[in-house]
Amino acid sequence: MNACALVRYLLFFCLPVLAVFSGDRAAGAEEKSLKTESHFARLGTNKIHYVTQGQGSNIIVFIHGWACNAGFWREQVPAFAGKSILVLVELPGHGESDKPEVDYTMEYFADAVIAVMRDAKYLPLTAKVANEGNHKLMEVAK
């Protein structure tokens, strides 16, 4: 399963999700500081906001549920930031991400996560999923 298919799969099954990714990029990422950095990825003409923080050899991607934003994970960030690189995604229509007048489908959310992972240069990747109850991560894997 390629990285894009894996992300679609994970988004379909696990929103909100905590997924741990590791790959070539993670190995050299230990030098990153613990400061929080705000970024925007492009999905077509729209901007997808995400925040990075932490250091380590693993990458943990946090994807919030409906009507939330990256702040949803504020209690979890301190526990992981010293051990892993954290990527907190704000899905389209939420937080600082653009709110286009489109159908907010699982596929659209999956494409947003893939856009973030590409922008952060965290592809290819492998994933370990902590919650298998949601259908959005499945869309990323398609």
pTM of the model: 0.71
pLDDT band at residue 18 using 50, 70 and 90 as cut-offs: low
> Is the model more confident about 40 or about 5?
40
Question: Which residues make Cβ contacts (< 8 Å) with residue 49, sequence separation at least 6?
Answer: 38, 39, 40, 70, 90, 95, 96, 97
Q: What is the mean pLDDT of residues 12-27?
A: 49
Segment 52-71, tens digit of pLDDT: 999 888 888 888 888 888 88
pLDDT band at residue 125 using 50, 70 and 90 as cut-offs: low
DSSP reduced 3-state for 103: coil
Geometric angle at alpha carbon 51, from 44 and 2, rounded to 5° = 60
What's the confidence (pLDDT) of residue 122? 81
Number of domains in the chain: 1
Segment 72-109, tens digit of pLDDT: 888 989 988 888 899 999 999 999 999 999 999 888 99
Range of the domain at 75: 3-141
pLDDT band at residue 126 using 50, 70 and 90 as cut-offs: low
Under DSSP, the state recorded for 66 is T
Which CATH number fits the domain that encloses residue 75? 3.40.50.1820
What's the confidence (pLDDT) of residue 68? 86
